[in-house]
Amino acid sequence: MNRGTGRADRPVARVSGSTSGIGEAVARRPAADGMRVVVHSRRSPEAGQALAAELGGTYVRADLAVEEEARGLVEAALGRYGRLDVLVNNAGVSRPIPHHDLAAATPADWRALLEVNLIAPWVLCTQALPALRAAPAGGCVVNITSHAGVRPKGASVPYAASKAALNHVTRLLAAALAPEVRVNAVAPGLVDTPLTKDWAQAHQLWEYRAPMRRPAQPADVADLVASVIASTYLTGEVIVLDGGLNLT
C-alpha cells in the first residue's frame, strides 16, 4: 500500500479491539509499515491511550454493541485524519456454551454475539465506505473471523455461527465493493493469548494434531493481516490460519 510522501499523506488504519492480544499485534504492524493507526477498545482506555501514544496514533473508546458508538468510531478516525484506508474488524465477543446444551444458548446470547461479531463489522464497513472508496491506493477491509466459522467447532454454536456469517458477508462485500475496496477475512484457530492460556484441551489439540504442533502467536496473525493489506489484488478470500489443523 502506498504510504505517501509525507507524514500527512500516510494511510490510516483503524483496528477495532486493539489494546491486547491479537488486536494489539495487528495494530502494531501497520504502524511499523508507516501507517497512522486508530486504536480502539470497549474497556481499558489507559492501555489504549498508551498504545496509541507509542504508535503515534490515536485512541477511541466505543462499545460496538451500540450502533451510535460504532459509527462514532469511524467518524472519530475521519475527524482526526480526514481519511481512512484500512479497516480491520478484530473486536469480538464469545460465550462458552456446550454445543449440545441448546437451552443454555438463549436468544439473548444469540443477540449479544451477533450484535458485536456480525452487525458491528457491517455498521463499521457501511460508515467507512465513502472514505474507503476514496483511498488513493484503494480501500481495504480485513475481518478477523475464526476457525470456528469454517469447521463445526468453537466456544458455542452462536459464536461459531456469527463467525461463519461474517465469513460469508466478507465474500458478499468483496463482490459488491470491487474494484475500489477489497474485502478479505483471516480466520485463526487457537491463538496463544492471555484469554486462551487456561484452555488446556485446545492447547493439547493443537500441540498434538496440528502439523505445526503449536497454536498461533498474535504475531502470526498480524503477519498475515499485513500481507493481506499489502496484496492489492487479493479480495473475497477467507484465509484459515490454524497451523494446518484443517488438514487432519
Cβ atoms within 10 Å of 79's Cβ, excluding its own: 11
In tens digits, the chain (248 residues) has pLDDT values of: 544 445 668 999 999 999 999 999 999 999 999 999 999 999 889 999 999 999 999 999 999 999 999 999 999 999 999 999 999 999 999 989 999 999 999 999 999 999 999 999 999 999 999 999 999 999 999 999 999 999 998 889 999 999 999 999 999 999 999 999 999 999 999 999 877 888 888 899 899 999 999 999 999 999 999 999 999 999 999 999 999 998 88
Nearest alpha-carbon partner for 33 in 67, 75, 4, 68:
4
**What residues are annotated to the active site?**
159
| CA separation for the pair 77, 131 (Å, rounded) | 10
| CA separation for the pair 156, 161 (Å, rounded) | 9
Query: What does 1-30 look like in DSSP terms, one character per residue?
Result: ----SSGGGS-EEEESS-SSHHHHHHHHHH
Nearest alpha-carbon partner for 182 in 144, 140, 143:
140
Structure letter (DSSP) for residue 236: S
pTM flag (> 0.75) = yes
The domains found in the chain, sorted by start residue, are: 7-241 (3.40.50.720)
Q: Judge whether 162 and 154 are in contact, CB under 8 Å.
A: no
The pLDDT assigned to 80 comes to: 95
